[in-house]
Structure 1
């Protein structure tokens, strides 16, 4: 059984196998988190290899530095948002890398620390910031957004049909008492949820997911961040992306499709004349899902999907 502070990396073996780590290569873990993927990469690198780990969470950076200290490869840990990958690589004087990993799930240690405010199971401040230096918190969202804006966030990012009902309940309650604690919000959501819907899982799950996505701007930057990674990966290098809900997976699927087949010529044209060339080939036609054994050992893996693409030669044409 994992300890409270242990993070179990999802689809770990599948991701590292797909990455095709070269001992002297340079690799980026854009979501350092608990350091599980980074440790497996570092273990395959020689002292000539290089690992760059990126995370917004200073606690994650400190954990990873300690966890990976014994590995001989060169290591650079950067506290930043992964959408800034081009600037990060420029600062490190790296033009291109051999592979990039994105594990878009929230780390277990973040969920399990009540003071981070991610969980509807633990009482804590209504925070949810990945980057604790940013200003916007979940409390700001639930206490200041209009009812319509809250409804839109919960419906779009939580995919919750009860978004309107939940938004009304939040706005009604905050008129007399602003929200400060996670369980306080979870209780209001539960009370606003009809009994028949409660049997399908914790009624606060979708709203908490939506608030986390809104606070951290996760979906607004995702496509650009992965496109940046494609642009800065060497030909033959791999880009591995693990998603945990349909909104993320949809963006990655669409981006990979567009990058693998960018032609915009009308279907009736016998040959391509638009001149758009693919930047990747898809290694996974369908996403890789966790095994039944992994899901049994780690329930947080049950919704995970892994998509993998390989960077093409820049002059390679479609066909």
Structure 2
């Protein structure tokens, strides 16, 4: 997964990293799975969280939008003795797979896995040349579609907001000029152009293409929208006392999770300019500290953990709130997705 947009980038997005579940002990402590419970692992990946949850005696329904992850998890399904079910699905649809009484826990590890980065054919990494793809579900608009067809103004918005790339305008204009001669088809082709356009300085810790590649991946997979919808879905699908545990890796994701839990904490976000502010029933109570980060020891072993942040809440008996995306203050990037239609 990419590192923190707030200023802690690493080259984990570009090079191979053996997949290690991030904040595993902290996730299990926050979920507190028990024998007989049903836990939803919305980002199955390589099954790191799922394996630990099964070891605690709970049953797991695992989701992943990547068909390769589902195929790779069949051995664990067979070994689980009927306690694991895997489904190819976006985690925003998790409520559709809830048992009659609701889930006892939901865990989400947001973003791309190191397995996907390691597969050159998926196009997530610029250090392994491959097709400029980046689609987790292998369908829909690809990164090449965006780079070759989006207007410069749209590229600037994508790179600037989703990647916080300060040179978004310069890079977007360079892409426009280059694609007139030859369309972008590979990761190395795009990375080389970015490196020529914004050369890496000696003090820089990351490759100049890191933020652009991150922005494209987030946009192509609608990762922020998926996360927001998944939070609402988890609120509907969890039974009272059920735990929601989210591990995020950059500031945009963490900001969405933080705002969700703040909004669901029981007090309306008031303003001194409004005469009345009414409290509302809390749908989540905090679990542990407001935010848990990886230890120095874990970060040293697993570079992917350096920017990880865990937030958790326990579902109350209050009715679920409304699916109001305005609480996240996200820009409207949906119109750009029409490029692939």
Q: Give the TM-score normalised by structure 2.
A: 0.84
Q: Which has the higher contact order (CA 8 A, sep 6+)?
A: 2
Answer whether contact 2:40 2:60 (CA < 8 A) is retained. Answer: yes
Partner of 2:298: 294
Equivalent of residue 284 in structure 2, options 253, 264, 280: 280
Q: Which runs of 5+ in 1 are unaligned?
A: none
User: Cα deviation per residue 1:196-250 (whole Å; 9 max; x = unaligned)?
Assistant: 3872410010000000001001112211211210221111111000000000000
SS state at 1:59 partner: helix
Partner of 1:204: 209
Alignment of 1:63-212 (within 5 A): 63-89=72-98, 93-132=99-138, 134-196=139-201, 199-212=204-217
Partner of 2:268: 263
Answer whether contact 1:99 1:239 (CA < 8 A) is retained. Answer: yes
Distance in 2, matches of 1:292 and 1:75, equals 33
Distance in 2, matches of 1:158 and 1:188, equals 17
Distance in 2, matches of 1:172 and 1:142, equals 12
Answer whether contact 1:39 1:68 (CA < 8 A) is retained. Answer: no
SS state at 1:303 partner: coil
SS state at 2:137 partner: coil
CA RMSD of aligned residues (A): 2.3
How far did residue 313 of structure 1 move?
2.2
Partner of 2:248: 243
**What number of residue pairs does the alignment pair up?**
305
1:266–1:137 distance in 2 versus 1, CA, 3 Å: closer
Are residues 1:15 and 2:27 paired? yes
Q: Which runs of 5+ in 2 are unaligned?
A: 1-15, 321-341
1:153–1:268 distance in 2 versus 1, CA, 3 Å: closer
Answer whether contact 2:40 2:103 (CA < 8 A) is retained. Answer: yes
Partner of 2:66: 57
Answer whether contact 2:132 2:185 (CA < 8 A) is retained. Answer: yes
SS state at 1:23 partner: coil
Answer whether contact 2:19 2:113 (CA < 8 A) is retained. Answer: yes
Are residues 1:39 and 2:56 paired? no
Equivalent of residue 229 in structure 2, options 214, 224, 231: 224
Distance in 2, matches of 1:147 and 1:66, equals 46
SS state at 1:100 partner: strand
Distance in 2, matches of 1:268 and 1:247, equals 27
User: Cα deviation per residue 1:83-113 (whole Å; 9 max; x = unaligned)?
Assistant: 1112233xxx534110000001311110001
Distance in 1, matches of 2:203 and 2:66, equals 33
Distance in 2, matches of 1:54 and 1:140, equals 27
Partner of 1:304: 308
How far did residue 267 of structure 1 move?
6.8
User: Cα deviation per residue 1:13-63 (whole Å; 9 max; x = unaligned)?
Assistant: 110111010111010000011110011011112xxx421000001110111
